[in-house]
Amino acid sequence: MENRKIKDYEEIEGYDIYIEPQFRPFGFPVGLYIALKDGVIINIKPEFGYLTTGVEKVVEGMEIDKAIPFIDRVDSSSAISPELTYCIGLEKTFKIDVPLRAKFIRTALCELSRISSHLLWLTRLANVLGINNALHYCLREREEVLHLIELATGSRLTPNFIRVGGVASNLSPRFIEEFRKFFRSFRKNFNMLKTFFLENELVVNRLNNLGVLIEEDAKNLAITGPNLRALGIKKDVRIDDTYGIYDEISFKIPVGEKGDSLDRCIVRMGEIEQSTSIISQAFYKMPEGEIRTYTEDINQFSGNTRSHIECPHGELAMEISIDEGKITKLRIKSPSYNNLLAFSRAVLGESVEDVEVILTSFDICVCEVDK
Amino acid sequence: MILKSLLLKTFYFLLFLLLGIYVTVYLHKKILAHMQSRRGPLHTGFHGILQTLSQTLKLLLKSPKNFLKSQNLVITIGAIISITFAIAAFLLIPLTGEIFFINVEISLPLCICFIVISNTGTFLSIDRTGLNTNKILGLLDRISTTIVFSVPLFISSLGPVTFASSFNLFEIVKSQGRFYNIIYQPLSMIVFSVTCLLLWQRLSLDVPSKNTYLNIDYLSTQTGLNLLMFSISEYINILSLSLLATLLFFGGWNGPGFLHPIIWTIIKTFILQVMFLFLYTVIPKIKGIKRKINISLAFLSSLSLLNLLIVIFVVLYLKPIFNL
C-alpha cells in the first residue's frame, strides 16, 4: 500500500491537471493534459492509444475478402463505413461492376448507421449535460435502428456485410416490414428529441458560443464532416466526389454559422433528418435484381488504390496496395484523429468545467483515432 | 419507566425512518425509470421490491471482517458523522401534532444545520487511493454545492418563520391553519424547492454522481459499510428535506378530517418527491463554481430576501388589519 506508485499529474512539466483515460463522462479512453492560467485553459494535450488494435498491420498478407471483418473494427459507431471505403476502392481500380440493387442497399444501410452514430452522439451529449430523460429516449431510438441493422446484416455493431462487387445477402421481407413500422414512429419521436435539445433554453444557452472553432484552424488541421460544416463551409464527399447512388437522390447539406457546440448539434440533428429522407428515397427507387457480381480472377489482382467516403465523423480515406490478391499495405486516414486535434484548439480559452461538453460535441470515435 | 417509553419511541421512529428510506429508494428507482421510458428493477421480488434489500445485504457482506483495522479511520469517522447528523435532523421533524420525537424551541434552524453538517461528512472521504480526477472533481463539486446552496436554503426558510414569528416547526404549521404558506409566499417556496433539489446530491441539477453510471463518483473507492452509511445518509437527507418543505409551505399535517394527519404528511411529501424527481430528469445540470455562485448568491438569495421583505411588510402592517 505504501509503496504503490500513483501516477501524479505534477510530474508532467508545464501542465496543471491530468484527466485520466478512465474518466467516465467522456465515454472513451482519452487522457488530457491541461494547462491553466486564471482558471482558463491555455494549453491542452490529448493522450491516446489505449484502444490500438493494429488493424493496418494485422491485415497485411491477407486475402481481399478475408480482411473485411477486421476492417469493421476501425469504427465502433458505424462499422459499415470502413467496409464501404475498402470495397469501393477495390471496385474502382479493378473495374468490377456493382449491381444497381446492391448500390441502393449499401446506401440505405450506410445512412441507417449514420443515424445510429448520430443518436449515440446525442446520447453522450445528454449524458454530459445531465439530462437523464433525453439520454434514455435517444437510446431507445438507437436500439430500434440497431435492431434494423441486425435484421439486415446479422450483427448490430460489426455487420461484415459489404463485399467486393456487391453485398453479402438480400434484404428480407421482414426487414422491409419492420422498417416501415419504424419510420412511421421515428419522425414523430425525433421531433420530440429535438425539443429536448434545440427548443430547451437551458441547453441552447449552455452550448451557444462554447468551443468555437476558427476557420483557419479547421483548414490547417484538415477537418472534415459535420464539424467543418458547422462553420458554414459546404463540403461533403457525397456531393463533391459522388459515389454509389447519391447523384440520383436529392438531399440537402445542413450547415451552421459560427462553428460552436450549438452549431455542431444543429448540423448533426439536420443530418439525421436528411438521412431519413435519403433512406426513404432509396427504398422507393430500389430496383429488383442481383446483389453481387462474382469475379473469379480476384486472386490475380495487383495494384494500388485509393478511396474516400463520407462517414458520420467526416471523410474516411484508405490507401490499399495489393499484390496477387493479397494486401501488402493498408493506410487509413480517419476523421476522428483530426477532430481530436481540432478539439484541442477549440477548447482554448474555456474553463475546465466545459471540457467534457466540448469534447463530446466534436463526436470523436477513439477506435478511429487509435486504429 | 421513562427510559422504557423513550426506548420504545426511539425504536418506532427508527423503524419509520428505515421504512421511509426503503420506500424512498424503491420509488426513486421505479418512478425515475418510468419517466425515462424504462422499467426499473423487476426481477428481485414482485416488481423488484426486494432490490434495495439485496443491495444492502450485498454491501454488508462485502465489508471486511476486521472493519476498524482495515479501513481508513478518517473515512469511517466521516461516514459516522454523516449518518448520525442525518438521523438527528430527521428526529427533529414532527410528523403530526401528536407524533413527534422531541420538541425543541429552535427546531427549524437546528434541523437545517444538521443536514448541512451531515453533507460535510463526505469531505473526509478522500484518501491515497482516491487521488483520481474523477473522485476529486466529484468531491469538489459536492463541497461547493453544499457550501453555496445552504445560504439560500436558510434565507428562504426565514419567510415562514417570520410569518409564524417562531423558529419552532409546530408553530409554523399552526400558523398555516387557514391558508398554506405557498399562497402567501410562492417565491420563497420556489427558492426552497430548488435549493432542496440541488442539495439532494444524489442528483438534481448539479450532479456529482449520476445514477446512469451506477456508481457514485466521490465514493468510488469506498465499499461495504462505509458506502452504505454514506448513501443511506443521503437518502435520509432527501426524506427530511422534502418533509421540511411540506411543513414549511404545504401546511404539514393540516387537511380535511376524514384522514389521519400523518397520512396527509405522507401524501404531501410523496407528491413533492415526485415533482422533484420530474424536475431532476428533465432539467440539465449546472456545472462550474462560477455559475453556481451566480445562481445561488445573486439570484436565489436575492429572490428569497425580496420575499422576506414582503413578508415583514405583511406581518407589520396587514396582519393586524385583516387578522390573518
Say what the pLDDT of residue B159 is: 87
Please tell me which residue of chain A has the smallest CA distance to B207. A130
A288 falls in which pLDDT band (50, 70, 90)?
confident
Which pLDDT value is given to residue B220? 64
Question: A257, exposed or middle or buried, with CB in 10 Å at 0-12, 13-18, 19+?
Answer: exposed
Residue A22 to residues A30, A60, B211, Cα–Cα distance (Å): 8, 32, 18
Q: Tell me, yes or no, if A184 comes closer than 8 A to chain B by beta carbon.
A: no
Give the mean pLDDT of chain B.
82
Give the domain range for residue A263.
Answer: 9-370
pLDDT of the residue at A135? 86
* Model confidence band, residue A8 (pLDDT cutoffs 50, 70, 90): very low
Mean pLDDT score of chain A: 86
Asked whether residue A173 carries a pLDDT value surpassing 50, the answer given is yes
Cα–Cα distance between A11 and A23 in angstroms, integer? 19
Domain count, chain A: 1
Band (A146; pLDDT cuts 50, 70, 90): very high
Q: A137 in contact with B at a CB cutoff of 8 Å? A: yes
Residue A1 has pLDDT above 90, yes or no: no
**pLDDT score of A117:** 93
pLDDT band for position B290 (50/70/90)? confident
State the Cα–Cα distance between residues A262 and A252, nearest whole angstrom.
19
Handedness of CA A209, A211, A213, A214 (dihedral sign): positive
> Across residues B185-209, what is the average pLDDT?
70
Q: Does B5 touch chain A (CB under 8 A)?
A: no
The pLDDT assigned to A118 comes to 93
User: In this predicted model, what pLDDT tens digit does every residue of A76-111 receive, in sequence order?
Assistant: 888 899 999 999 988 888 888 888 899 999 999 999
Q: Is residue A220 part of a domain?
A: yes
Interface of A with B in 217-236 (CB under 8 A): none
Residue A3 resides in a domain: no
φ, ψ for residue A212 (rounded to 5)? -75, 130
Q: What is the tens place of the pLDDT at every residue in B278-289?
A: 888 888 877 777
Question: pLDDT (tens digit, 9 = 90+) per residue, B55-75?
Answer: 888 888 887 766 666 667 788
pLDDT > 90 fraction of chain A, expressed in percent and rounded = 18
Selecting from A22, A137, A200 the residue whose C-beta is nearest the C-beta of B37 gives A137
A2 domain-assigned: no
Residues of A in contact with B127 (CB under 8 A): none
Residue A115 has pLDDT above 90, yes or no: yes
Q: Which residues of A touch B280 (CB under 8 A)?
A: 132
B69 in contact with A, Cβ within 8 Å:
no
Which pLDDT band, with edges at 50, 70 and 90, does A278 fall under?
very high
Nearest by CB: B207 against A20, A23, A130:
A130
Q: What is the CATH number of the domain that holds A265?
A: 1.10.645.10
Lookup result for grid cell 422533484: B276
Q: Is the pLDDT of residue B205 over 50?
A: no
pLDDT at B128 over 60: no
What residues of B are in contact with residue A130 (Cβ under 8 Å)? 205-207, 210, 284-285, 287
φ, ψ of residue A43 in degrees (nearest 5)? -155, 145
Q: How confident is the model at residue B129 (pLDDT cuts 50, 70, 90)?
A: low
Q: pLDDT-based confidence at A133, cuts 50/70/90?
A: confident
